[in-house]
Amino acid sequence: MLTLEKFEEASEVVKKVAIETKLLYSPYFSERTGNKVYLKPENMQVTGAYKIRGAYYKISTLSDEERSKGLITASAGNHAQGVAYAAKAYGVKAVIVMPTTTPLMKVERTKSYGAEVVLHGDVYDEACEYAYKLAEEHGYTFIHPFDDLAVATGQGTIAMEIVKELPLVDYILVPIGGGGLSTGVSTLAKLLNPNIKVIGVEPAGANCMQVSLKNKKVTTLPTVSTIADGTAVKTPGTKIFPYIQKNLDDIITVTDDELIGAFLDIVENHKMVVENSGLLTVAALNHLNVKGKKIVSILSGGNMDIITMSSMVQFGLIQRDRIFTVSTMLPDKPGEMVKISQVIADENGNIVKLDHNQFIGTNRNEGVELRITIEAFGTEHKNRIVKKLDEAGFRPRLVKINL
């Protein structure tokens, strides 16, 4: 059972390895939503995610014999690092099975804590099945990333810190993959104050918990598709499901496009890197139909590789019309590029890239194509630049950017 006494015990245990992340008040999100929004930055943990809490507490509850057999788990990255770090702290062996799609940074970081990493399967569920097989073959002690009450208890210590720092919190938004974090947070929050609303947030392309709650039983999705790799889970936990049914007030789903926008918001307004799964609760703020409430968004992790980060920035800028491309046909004679550049400059547009194609047709006298990628302040500014180009006779055509 998840009891207040166990949560209190876990809170003391995890202090040995976890940082007590202080709430960050967000003027930006507060103004946008009409609420008082606070961020719980678990991306600042030593392993870059909250998972160190549940992993360390679970391992603390094992016997010496269970630990000495060696530990094994399956994870898309954050639980992997939590188990690897905790195992190193206890001086025991750890084997981590990760999906082959796991970002390289998460793989390398897990190895850096001394764990043996095995890559298997395309999604978490396939990696987990293989981890169980290895556990049986070698006698390892399996540490489940979410379907374990001790692990969930460790994750729930986040709620203890939130309520201690913000006793009158109205809403806590928590990401959901398999459900361990949401189980711990919602259960402890309700034990401390039944009036606190705990809302789970899932990717629209991996909403296994939402479907399971609707069906009133644990349900496996046929496929998952989301950029939030840490929450790309087909089947939620069975042991924790009753706690979710009892304590979670609602579930919100968000799209990948919303996560891209949330990434840009966090980077620009809070100067933080938060991975896509951790951004679920930020994107969900736009879905809450409340005003004047104290809301905490749990940023569950920040383990994002540089290539993904770069893509998120570029697609975010495109999504918000801060980068766009136009195509126009110009007479093939000197000075034409200067004219069109001057129109853009007069409107404070910044040219990022030029692609001048003289071979679009066989008759160069009919014109050559010029594609211009332009930086703008947003949609209004973009539309103004396009209008001025049209008025100047360049007849611009918006085209999809080829990054």
Beta strand segments in 102-189, E: 116-119, 141-142, 171-175
The answer on 330 and 305 residing in a single domain is no
Long-range Cβ contacts of 189-194 (<8 Å, 24+ apart):
189/159, 189/162, 189/163, 189/247, 190/246, 190/247, 191/4, 191/7, 192/4, 192/159, 192/160, 192/163, 193/163, 193/167
Q: Where in the sequence numbering do the catalytic residues fall?
A: 51, 300
Q: Sort 178 into a burial class: Cβ within 10 Å, 0-12 / 13-18 / 19+.
A: buried
pLDDT in the model for residue 364? 60
**Within this chain, do residues 167 and 271 fall inside the same structural domain, yes or no?**
yes
Q: Do 195 and 296 belong to one domain?
A: yes
Segment holding 199, helix H or strand E: strand 197-203
**Residue 93 and residue 70 in contact, taking contact as beta carbons nearer than 8 Å:** yes
Report the domain count for the chain. 3
Q: What's the pLDDT score for residue 332? A: 81
What is the pLDDT confidence band of residue 362, given thresholds at 50, 70 and 90? low
Q: Label residue 203 by pLDDT band (50, 70, 90).
A: very high
Beta bridge partners of 95: 72, 116
Confidence of residue 403 (pLDDT cuts 50, 70, 90): low
- Amino acid in position 346: D
Please state, for a pLDDT cut of 90, what percent of the chain lies above it. 85
pLDDT band at 363 (very low <50, low <70, confident <90, very high): low
Among 164-168, 277-281, 339-343, 356-360, which stretch is predicted with the lowest mean pLDDT? Answer: 356-360
Q: Are residues 186 and 42 in the same domain?
A: yes
Q: 307: pLDDT confidence band, cut at 50, 70 and 90?
A: confident
**Cα 185 to Cα 191: distance, rounded to the nearest angstrom:** 10
Distance CA 186, CA 194 (A): 10
pTM score of the predicted model: 0.90
Interval 134-179: pLDDT, tens: 999 999 999 999 999 999 999 999 999 999 999 999 999 999 999 9
225-276 pLDDT, tens digit each? 999 988 989 999 999 999 999 999 999 999 999 999 999 999 999 999 999 9
E-assigned strands of 264-381? 294-299, 323-330, 350-357, 368-375
Domain end point (choices 316, 350, 384): 316
Is 256 found in the same domain as 159? yes
Among 109, 142, 175, residue at a domain's last position: 142
Q: How confident is the model at residue 122 (pLDDT cuts 50, 70, 90)?
A: confident
Q: Decide which of 113, 142, 171 is a domain's last residue.
A: 142
Residue 76 reports pLDDT greater than 80? no
138 and 158 in a single domain? The answer is no
Residue 43 sits in the same domain as residue 65: no
Q: Are residues 209 and 229 in the same domain?
A: yes
My answer on whether 333 and 309 are in the same domain is: no
Average confidence score pLDDT of the chain: 93
Q: Per-residue confidence at 368, pLDDT binned at 50, 70, 90?
A: confident
Residue 124 has pLDDT above 80, yes or no: yes
Q: How far apart are CA 214 and CA 218, in angstroms?
A: 10
Based on the domain organization, do 22 and 164 belong to the same domain? Answer: yes
The pLDDT of residue 402: 62
> Do 311 and 206 lie in a common domain?
yes
CATH of the domain at 66: 3.40.50.1100
Residue 11, CA distances (Å) to 15, 144, 164, 382 in order: 7, 20, 12, 51
Structural domain that includes position 161: 4-49+149-316
Q: Is the pLDDT of residue 360 over 80?
A: no
The CATH number of the domain holding residue 344 is: 3.30.70.260
C-alpha triplet 212, 216, 218: angle, nearest 5°: 45
26 & 164 share domain: yes
